[in-house]
Chains A and B, each alone.
Chain A
Amino acid sequence: MPQMGVSVAEGTVVEWRKQRGDWVEADETICEISTDKIDTEVPSPASGRLVEVLVQVGVTVDVGTTLARISTDARPGEPHSSENHGPPAPAHAAAAAAPASPATPPSAPDPAQAPAARAAGGRASRRYSPVVQRIADEHGVDLDEVEGSGRDGRVQKKDVMAHVQARGGGGGRAQPVDEPTMHIESPYRPGAGASLGGPYVPPEGRPLSRMRQQIGEHMKRSQDTAATCTTWIEVDVSRVEIARRQLGITALPLIARCTIGALVEYPLLNAWLEGETHTVHEQVNLGIAVALGEDGLIVPVVRGAQDLAPEGLSRRIRDLARRARARQLSPDDVRGATFTITNPGQFGSMMATPVIAQPQVAILDVEAIIKRPVVVTDAFGEDAIATRPMVILGLSWDHRALDGALAARFLANIKKRVESYEA
């Protein structure tokens, strides 16, 4: 079970894409897993044959648990270990028979050994193509029982397939065939009118989805761990609005760029607090919350964000959001965030009190940009009322790691950068 994130301790196997006996290439998907951070595919660490599946679908195991074994010294076509309990290979049969007639020329066989030698010889003459051996192994077929239709009675793929099919009814290791149901329930259901006046029957409850359970567990743990406070500041985004139109991008990467600048100046906000261990990061790994419709949300990470210009940030955020929605994020895409931005303002909401993603010490909430009348001072020191695009930035921060004055200075620093933005 690979490590899928700093705080992830366990994962659940959702599906095996490869079965025992299958050949897998390095980096080919071997199974799918689900952790509390991400649902993802597990690439094979090596090329070889999958000889053992140790964790079944639906089972949750700790990080580091072996999921399956791959035999890397196997070769495509080589029999795999499960064949050991099949019939002995022809070569073994021949070898076993050989000592019975040591150095005896074939023209003068010991009569007593003749039948055995003939039997061994008969089997040795039957060679099977790789595909026939593989199918026989998968279905537990004794190839001695299969009639061959090829040249000199050679067993072809179609012969072994026909044998497997013919045997289907006879049991053995064949799968039972599902009986079709005799009675099919009518799909007709009386409409709501029929139950008028009847007692209210609440719909049946369903278990919460895995993703919702994981988000819930993580958020609740954060609230139980951190001393969360929220501070707001109102910011004029006129310059950002002009710049974003010039660059043809959204305001988010520009505000993110200003936030990253402030994080570099106030590294205490770009930090982790794990128990009593306080880690201040130089590199900014910026988490961006991406909504996955009704299902939940995921927070992919822009690594080394301090080195990216707004266009680069925009490209990375777009790419991560697209892959998040296509469920194609890799574990590296979601781990190691040092600070998070959440941006639900696209729906018009004004303020929120976001929950900090542990073990980070703060999260910035970017709300809707709304035009408002504000008091501005002109070059002559005269006050006037003007229409300006404004946004409220909300910072939830952990009072264990910092105090309100620092949070306010940090927000003021972002405000200064946004309001003096030069494209």
Chain B
Amino acid sequence: MPEMTYLRAISDGLRTEMRNDERVLLMGEDIGVYGGAFKVTDGFIEEFGADRVMDTPLAESGIVGTAVGAAVVGLRPVCEMQFADFVSCGFDQIINVAGKMLYRQGLPVNITVRLPSGGGFSGGPFHSQNPEAWFMHSPGLKVVAPSTAEDAKGLIIASIRDPNPVIYMEHKNLYRRVKGEVPEGTYETPFRARVAREGDDLVVITYGAMVHTALEATADLDGASIMVLDLRALVPLDEEAILNAVHHCSKVVVVDEANYTCAAGAQVSALIAERAFEDLDGPILRVASPDVPIPFSPPLEAAVLPSVERVREACRQLLEY
């Protein structure tokens, strides 16, 4: 299996599925001639032409709205938001049009919206957010967030094939930092959680970039045996895997890079409190960014985002409880 970066794995998934399926087309700002702000679609316009790799105006509402129409007539558009933060300009089309179309009119909206998200590189408040929870709250959408190169490819293919609108969270800080072996050809990663590391004493439940933070924080923690559960999909949430992990370990730390209030981890915590109360051997601890904008200043940003040290401290505190 070839080794590639998380970013190349996304490109590979898109390219594979575009070769497989003529209905797949890409839309976004500067994704064609320029190859995308992060070069995910570099070389695509040469291979697939401007009809299938469409440079659009700076209008997220127009991108998503056009994609919804294309999906209704049978195409499978993939929209790139240049940064996840800009998706708010296309919010109405995603929430009220794409998410409700099947319920209102019985028409499936097979679109994928790619959201380059997350911080860690001094991008500041408009280029560092993790807005996945906005979409979890709104019925009719699926939300996935790969953490590895292999899953990045498998989840983009599965998202394109899923008949529902799928919000695909790709973490910018993993783009070139994370590498891994990626199977060739086409495969789908299921929308189910993955045990990133087995363990017995405590489980860290997280997704996306924080999977790597959690693995590093708990690789050697006073000899404790710590499980790391990578959710992979936030909607549908793999409740069975979460409850099994809690049943096995009885102590839980939930980590989000997103802001604390109503983050994906809040839903995970609520699920555990409701359904796994009898398995708990201590309070559910959460580590997340405080409810503030992400700062430009590197030392301030480092203080805001959940660090290896903060995750380690939460685990230690709970292990001793």
Contact = CB atoms under 8 A, between A and B. Distances in A.
A77 B278 contact: yes
Nearest to A156: B281
B253 to A, nearest CB: 16
Contacts, number: 38
Contacts of A129: 250, 280-282
A131 B280 contact: yes
B277 interface: yes
A31 interface: no
Contacts of A75: 277
A157 B321 contact: no
B291 interface: no
B321 A150 contact: yes
A130 B320 contact: no
B137 interface: no
Contacts of A158: 201
Interface string B218-257: 0000000000000000000000000000000010000000
B23 interface: no
Contacts of A232: none
Interface residues of A, number: 16
Contact of A77 (B277, B320, B321): B277
Nearest to A152: B321
Interface string B266-278: 0000000011111
Interface string A123-156: 0000001111110000000000000001100101
Nearest to A132: B281
Given A151-B321, A154-B321, A76 B278 contact: yes
B321 A131 contact: no
Contacts of B278: 23, 76-77, 130-131, 133-134
Contacts of B280: 129-131
Contacts of A157: 250, 281
Contacts of A154: 321
A157 B202 CA distance: 11
B216 interface: no
Contacts of B320: 150-151
23 contacts: A23-B278, A75-B277, A76-B274, A76-B275, A76-B276, A76-B278, A77-B278, A129-B282, A130-B277, A130-B278, A130-B279, A130-B280, A131-B279, A131-B280, A131-B281, A132-B281, A134-B278, A134-B279, A150-B321, A151-B321, A156-B282, A157-B250, A158-B201
Interface of B: 201, 250, 274-282, 320-321
